[in-house]
Chains A and B, each alone.
Chain A
């Protein structure tokens, strides 16, 4: 096996732990993984009951998302499988990925959030549908804040008491997540949390 990020051969000496299935296969080498800075940043606001961001959006994260989303390297979803699973392992919570517009999804050939969850083997429900084709990354801050409804709830909400967890790849202004949370809350959901893989942090 080689590292998914740097293509160098992984040090995969056979061990008893591996043979017994305790130790999992590595997908990236320790040197590459070290470049991702774990922050576990949690915030709250009026719509979102909590937003948990796992990693800092640093140079390595930028490169990662570029290769994953724009070079369409879906294999990279595997890299954060373990860390996503560890924060999304509560089976009582309902996991809802932030969707892509169907046209954009066809262009990219996959939806990155779905791919991340599938790689982590986390069951999820696609309750939302994106109503506009426009992409957040191409907008200025004021444009983002002025947007009207972005998401529609497509399926029935079966239980209002359950906790819903939105999942997205990156938190920037929070507009996307707030819109998605509002759409769910309008349908009577009590508590909406969110988990994002990356979040930019200010340099100290």
Chain B
């Protein structure tokens, strides 16, 4: 393949800094001369009555606190750069962003789907609805409880788009989710070019038709996809960061559908899809058993007691019971510092207990240890709130009243319990000092889902 065709395959659908393109300058210059590439200023400025307004053309950040202005030695003028997408290469007023405007590349239309699993009647129904929306180009919300087999329901709609010779993206806010999805999708679509993009990963297959990406990576796409599926659409930081939501809208072609998949949709997401799109609700897990309902347990002054190097009485009793019954357990904390304070105290009960948080590179291995019963239990932050399955796990939340444990987080945490046969239920306890609205709402929501009639 000629270098020019490679450039086309790489740049089509992307928005890329000129000096970071992995192609020789002459090839790029030649394409620009022929009018196949559009050049855009990296950060645009607009004078307003209260100062200069900056906008990053890559990540669409317009928040003035996320720009830094400095005397630039390159453009010899005051120049602003965007700190929001800095780690993808700095975009400033004097940097150039390139997009492909020439003929789009063609993709294969014969994709094999290698998946023979069975869908339950309710999964079947939701998949069909999602497929219909994809064909019609309408956004769809798949609201499916934790452990209902969401990924499998995406296969048919993805297969449809691929066979149309179109590009699909499966996006999720967290790397862990992407890394977990990648092997499942490569086995489901063995002949398709699949690529996973996340922080630190290089673009390897310029012609990938199915792209798995963290939502951050979508900053670098521009009118690229004919459908985007956003998995775990309520996870941090997607809901908290408006530029990520803009990034998703920017990455799809105009009028292409954006589908959301989540177990805990925000009211905003629900409202949006009620107005403009469609919703499928899947209220029952694949094994048909109800979701575990949380149990509230007061635990006063837990912070003070842990600081005094003492595990609060009730928490101690709960933990020793798990140890006696040899049930694997997860204890969630709201703060890394508090968790690290508690770690040595729990290790006195059993020295194999350890803590897991976002900065541990080996958190995958530690979770694996829990699955293999090498360790009786883990202390964790909300990092393990979603995406993991451990048979017969029991869950406690310490400090459930903390703001970080919102309704969605609590439902997700509860979703770890009773995921697999034969242990379809388990203990889900919220240790708190004062019941919050979020705790009540989570409980109400779980009860409501459990009471929903399901088609058999």
Contact = CB atoms under 8 A, between A and B. Distances in A.
Contacts of A110: 70-73
A73 B71 contact: no
A105 interface: yes
B103 interface: no
The secondary-structure label for the interface of chain B is mixed
Contact of B65 (A1, A72, A108): A1
Given A108-B73, A109-B92, A74 B68 contact: yes
Nearest to A115: B70
Interface residues of B, number: 16
Contacts of B435: none
B87 interface: yes
Interface in B348-393: none
A72 B74 CA distance: 12
A109 B90 CA distance: 11
Given A1-B65, A115-B70, A71 B79 contact: no
Nearest to A70: B90
Interface in B158-191: none
A115 B92 CA distance: 17
A201 to B, nearest CB: 24
B86 interface: yes
Contacts of A67: 86
Given A1-B65, A109-B79, A109-B92, A74 B70 contact: yes
A156 B72 CA distance: 27
A111 interface: yes
A72 B73 contact: no
A73 B94 CA distance: 15
A139 B441 CA distance: 62
A115 B86 CA distance: 18
A71 B87 contact: yes
A39 interface: no
Interface in A54-72: 67, 71-72
A109 B87 contact: no
Contacts of B89: 71
Interface in B40-87: 65, 68, 70-74, 79, 81, 83, 86-87
A75 B66 CA distance: 10
B381 to A, nearest CB: 13
Contacts of A72: 81, 90
A73 B90 contact: yes
Interface in B83-133: 83, 86-87, 89-90, 92, 94
> Could you say which of A67, A73, A109, A111 has the most chain B C-beta atoms within 10 Å of its C-beta?
A109
A122 to B, nearest CB: 16
Contacts of A92: none
A47 to B, nearest CB: 29
A6 to B, nearest CB: 10
A105 B90 contact: no
A106 B83 contact: no
B72 A75 contact: no
A74 B79 CA distance: 11
Nearest to B83: A75
A72 B89 CA distance: 9
Contacts of A115: 70
Contact of A73 (B65, B72, B73, B83): B83
Contact of A111 (B73, B90, B94): B73
B145 to A, nearest CB: 31
8 contacts: A67-B86, A71-B87, A74-B68, A74-B70, A106-B73, A109-B74, A110-B70, A110-B71
Interface of B: 65, 68, 70-74, 79, 81, 83, 86-87, 89-90, 92, 94
Interface of A: 1-2, 67, 71-75, 105-111, 115
Q: Which 6 pairs across A and B sit closest by C-beta, in order of nearness?
A: A75-B68, A109-B74, A72-B90, A74-B70, A105-B73, A109-B72
